[in-house]
Amino acid sequence: YAAGVLKYRQMGYWQPDYRPLDTDVVALFRITPQEGVDAEEAAAAVAGESSTATWTVVWTDRLTACELYRAKAYRVDPVPGTGPGTRTEQQYFAWIAYDLDLFEPGSIANLTASIIGNVFGFKALRALRLEDMRLPVAYLKTFQGPATGIVVERERLDKFGRPLLGATTKPKLGLSGRNYGRVVYEGLKGGLDFMKDDENINSQPFMHWRDRFLYCMEAVARASAATGEVKGHYLNVTAGTVEEMIERAEFARSLGSVIVMIDLVVGYSAIQSMAKWARRNDTILHLHRAGNSTYSRQKNHGMNFRVICKWMRMAGVDHIHAGTVVGKLEGDPLMIRGFYDTLRETRTPANLEHGLFFDQDWASLNKVMPVASGGIHAGQMHQLLTYLGEDVVLQFGGGTIGHPQGIQAGATANRVALEAMVLARNEGRDIWNEGPEILDAAARDCMPLRQALDTWKDVTFD
């Protein structure tokens, strides 16, 4: 692979003196070069192939403002803890700057066709991971951003000062519309703000999508009337084409739904189309990150989920699953903090501990509500509140629908646990250390919480 083939450095894609402009897009890659491939050359190759270059010099380069359009790899650092004497082969962080003119305004598809288009298959690299990106304000301004955002979502729901509560209907597949609606009703009536469809429920033979929508919205209406609260159910409108997704979303809207849901697997352009639909229709847009772990989990290849958080904030979703720390799915506290900050802050300063390599100004794009889901239960309420803060939806699927006394009791247990914890926190108590005591005290007046704690007390996924 080595020097004989790779001439990107020579072609001008390695520029150690370059200082990125405020208007440049900057990407931070983790590169594992093949043996014998020099790190700067590898970085230059990534810069070249993700911007203007091909494997050889071409005549037509002279017909363009090549200097401007070439991406510039300007810094390469060995990754600490990799290389000789460690258990990992030598990796490098490579910083690459891209001129703004390389990208079509307002198109995640165009951005990604460059940045993750060809480079991950390069023979000269053993592995490649996109760790982070700095998106310039001028570019962010060409994106809609979240259709509703945290602030307006809370206003519409009239719910403040605490995390929102949800649950995914289970079993994932197989219920008929009427039984499904019953689960939704009980969850909402018991105290949840939202119920939701699962990532893989669309329109299967056991339940046509219209039946699901009708029974769920009946449940939402009845539960709202019974409790006097605004309630919702994320109707998953994911379908084979955007036209069908819009048809489903319009039906949801016509039934009075405040929220619809899509899966990340529908693709970036479909997500942006749905975000525009959501804004036109005053509807909250929930995104399930289905599929992301296929490329975000390995530490040396693929991309970090924080980059997906950035792209999805630009694309315009209002909710996104972003991890729980304590649940059944992968994620450590500091990394997840970085995801949550990326979604919720107006500026995120560089913070290497949290995996944030760049200062990022969000250019007034609305804030995305992170969603914590996957194997969580009432007994972890103090940990969830401490790790994830207040602007988050806590979703307990099994941890609601698996309650020994039924779904409504499961929902009540979660609501009481949450309110007790928020109250204790507001009184200045140390909820991290006193959490179990606070829950026990609340459970004295709430049998459903007592039963939830007894059932799941010892469940952890560490």
Chain positions contacting ligand CAP, by CB under 6 A: 168, 170, 198-199, 289, 321, 323, 328-329, 373-375, 395-399
Which of 199, 263, 318, 361 touches Mg ion (CB under 5 A)?
Answer: 199
Side chain identity, residue 311 = W
Decide if residue 341 touches Mg ion (CB under 5 A): no
- Nearest CA among 348, 360, 279, 266 for reference residue 317: 279
Query: Can 288 be counted among the known catalytic residues?
Result: yes
**Site residues for Mg ion, window 353-372 (CB under 5 A)?**
none
User: Min. distance of Cβ 410 from Mg ion in angstroms?
Assistant: 16
Nearest CB to Mg ion, comparing residues 173 and 350: 173
Annotated binding site for Mg(2+): 196, 198-199
Burial of 213 (0-12, 13-18, 19+ CB in 10 A): buried
Q: Report phi then psi at 445, rounded to 5.
A: -105, 10
208 binds, among Mg ion, ligand CAP, none (CB under 5 to 8 A by kind): none
Side chain identity, residue 108 = I
User: Min. distance of Cβ 293 from Mg ion in angstroms?
Assistant: 13
User: Min. distance of Cβ 309 from ligand CAP in angstroms?
Assistant: 12
Decide if residue 132 touches Mg ion (CB under 5 A): no
178 binds, among Mg ion, ligand CAP, none (CB under 5 to 8 A by kind): none
User: Min. distance of Cβ 168 from ligand CAP in angstroms?
Assistant: 4
Nearest CB to ligand CAP, comparing residues 170 and 182: 170
Nearest CB to ligand CAP, comparing residues 170 and 222: 170
Q: Which strands make up the sheet holding 319-321, listed edge to edge?
A: 164-166, 393-395, 369-373, 319-321, 284-288, 259-263, 232-236, 194-196
CA–CA distances in Å: residue 72 to residues 25, 26, 99, 182: 11, 9, 9, 57
Side chain identity, residue 54 = T
User: Min. distance of Cβ 127 from ligand CAP in angstroms?
Assistant: 24
Catalytic residue among 7, 159, 170, 301: 170
396 binds, among ligand CAP, Mg ion, none (CB under 5 to 8 A by kind): ligand CAP
User: Min. distance of Cβ 216 from ligand CAP in angstroms?
Assistant: 16
20 binds, among Mg ion, ligand CAP, none (CB under 5 to 8 A by kind): none
User: Min. distance of Cβ 223 from ligand CAP in angstroms?
Assistant: 19
* Angle at CA of residue 89, ends 87 and 91, nearest 5°: 125
User: Is 97 within 8 Å of 71 (Cβ atoms)?
Assistant: yes
Which of 198, 341, 361, 391 touches Mg ion (CB under 5 A)?
Answer: 198
289 binds, among Mg ion, ligand CAP, none (CB under 5 to 8 A by kind): ligand CAP
Element (H, E) at 436: helix 431-444
Annotated binding site: 118, 168, 172, 196, 198-199, 289, 321, 373
Nearest CB to ligand CAP, comparing residues 39 and 376: 376
User: Min. distance of Cβ 420 from ligand CAP in angstroms?
Assistant: 21
Side chain identity, residue 151 = V
**Site residues for Mg ion, window 149-168 (CB under 5 A)?**
168
Nearest CB to Mg ion, comparing residues 193 and 199: 199
Decide if residue 197 touches Mg ion (CB under 5 A): no
Side chain identity, residue 187 = G
Question: What DSSP letter does each residue of 220-281 carry, written as one string?
Answer: HHHHHHHHSS--EEEEE---SSHHHHHHHHHHHHHTT-SEEEEEGGG-HHHHHHHHHHHHHT
374 binds, among Mg ion, ligand CAP, none (CB under 5 to 8 A by kind): ligand CAP
- How far is 295 from 142, CA to CA, in rounded Å? 27
Residue nearest to Mg ion (CB): 198
Side chain identity, residue 213 = F
The owner of tokens 């972003």 is: 322
Catalytic residue among 72, 189, 233, 288: 288
Who contacts 112 (Cβ-Cβ below 8 Å, separation ≥6)? 268, 311
- How far is 129 from 116, CA to CA, in rounded Å? 9
Nearest CB to ligand CAP, comparing residues 50 and 169: 169
304 binds, among ligand CAP, Mg ion, none (CB under 5 to 8 A by kind): none
Decide if residue 263 touches Mg ion (CB under 5 A): no
Nearest CB to ligand CAP, comparing residues 239 and 325: 325
Nearest CB to Mg ion, comparing residues 130 and 376: 376
Annotated binding site for substrate: 118, 168, 172, 289, 321, 373
Q: Is the link from the previous residue into 105 a cis peptide, with omega within 30 of 0?
A: no
In eight-state DSSP terms, residue 176 is -
CA 107 to chain centre: 18
- How far is 162 from 260, CA to CA, in rounded Å? 22
Active site residues per annotation: 170, 288
Interface residues with Mg ion (CB under 5 A) are 168, 198-199
